[in-house]
Amino acid sequence: MTILSVDDLSISFGGLAALSGVSMSVDEGTIFSIIGPNGAGKTTIFNCITGIYRPSQGSIRFQSIEMVGKKPYQAAKCGIARTFQNIELFSHLSTMDNLLLGRHIHMKTGVFSGAFVPGWASKAAREECLHRERVERIIEFLELEASRDIPVGALPYGTRKLVELGRALAVEPKLLLLDEPTAGMNQEEKRDMMFWIRDIRDDFQITILMVEHDMNLVMDVSDEVMALNFGIKLVQGRPSDVQKHPEVLEAYLGKD
Ligand SMILES: Nc1ncnc2c1ncn2[C@@H]1O[C@H](COP(=O)(O)OP(=O)(O)O)[C@@H](O)[C@H]1O
Ligand SMILES: [Mg+2]
């Protein structure tokens, strides 16, 4: 069953077409990778799906809901979470607090909505307990216990990437977008990250759409791959077929 369906998506920046008529469909429960050289338009697709950019043309349907025109927080409420190419965390806050921020969209007893109603404080305390429990489970799952109370700015790079993944999980998404989850990691960290990604799909039944440069990892972990170049889709298919595709080889080898 299709969970995300992108149809004829186009967007330009100052006359430069970042995406030209891109269509793709992602099946529920799969790991789907987008590959392509720098500037191909990979991050732009993520920004369109999450409401950061508004495409000039095309449609993005997530579980039959049209996402074009939705704001980023609405995309999150619909069940889409993401990590960023460059880590986006509050560096002075602890791992725990960064993950709790991921719970924000699930919080009902906010100060503004509830502080004037009798019984608000105890209700809010109960709710906070529940959110902490959920976050503790994610910390345990990603084996981040040792980093729980440390400001994330003081953590090593690979751990910060994992905290960002944890924050996205705290949203409890149905679809998780990962923009270069292993960028800047060494081989061992990359392998670990791929295990987490597989586990997230298997244990939480979250569909994963990711942008990744390491071809070995992409081929190893993906059910489906789409190759993009200069904002144009080259091919979508099984990893082994995409890898062999002449236009993909050309784009990667830079043949003239
Ligand atoms: N906000 C923006 N303003 C201007 N140009 C942009 C913007 N976002 C993306 N682009 C351009 O769109 C193209 C695709 O960018 P991007 O999606 O980031 O590529 P990728 O993630 O595949 O490396 C690039 O030429 C980039 O410069
Ligand atoms: Mg990018």
Say yes or no: CB of residue 40 within 6 Å of ligand 1.
Answer: yes
Angle at 222 between CA 216 and CA 224, to 5 degrees: 125
The neighbourhood of ligand 2, an ion, using CB within 5 A, equals 42-43, 85
Say yes or no: CB of residue 36 within 6 Å of ligand 1.
Answer: yes
Beta bridge partners of 209: 32, 177
Say yes or no: CB of residue 42 within 6 Å of ligand 1.
Answer: yes
Q: Is 231 helix (H, G, I), strand (E, B) or coil?
A: coil
Ligand (nearest to CA of 228): 1
What is the per-residue burial (b if ≥16 Cβ within 10 Å, else e) of 218-255? Answer: bbebbbbbbbbbbbbbbebeebeebbebeebeebeeee
- pLDDT reported for residue 115: 59
For residue 85, give the ligand 1 atom closest to its CA: 21
Say yes or no: CB of residue 38 within 6 Å of ligand 1.
Answer: yes
For residue 47, give the ligand 1 atom closest to its CA: 17
In the chain, helix, strand, coil percent, each to 5? Answer: 45, 25, 30
Contact 31, 198 (CB under 8 A): yes
Considering only CA atoms, which residue is closest to atom 27 of ligand 1? 39
pLDDT in 10s for each residue of the chain, 256 residues? 999 999 999 999 999 999 999 999 999 999 999 999 999 999 999 999 999 999 999 999 999 999 999 999 999 999 999 998 888 899 999 999 999 988 887 876 655 555 566 677 777 777 788 888 999 999 999 999 999 999 999 999 999 999 999 999 999 999 999 999 999 999 999 999 999 999 999 999 999 999 998 888 999 999 999 999 999 999 999 999 998 898 888 887 665 5
What domains does the chain contain, in order, with CATH numbers? Answer: 2-253 (3.40.50.300)
For residue 36, give the ligand 1 atom closest to its CA: 22
> What pairing do the DSSP bridges indicate for beta strands 31-35 and 224-229?
parallel
- d(CA 69, CA 80) in angstroms, rounded, equals 15
Say yes or no: CB of residue 39 within 6 Å of ligand 1.
Answer: yes
Say yes or no: CB of residue 45 within 6 Å of ligand 1.
Answer: no
User: How many angstroms is it from 31 CA to the middle of ligand 2?
Assistant: 18
User: How many angstroms is it from 46 CA to the middle of ligand 2?
Assistant: 9
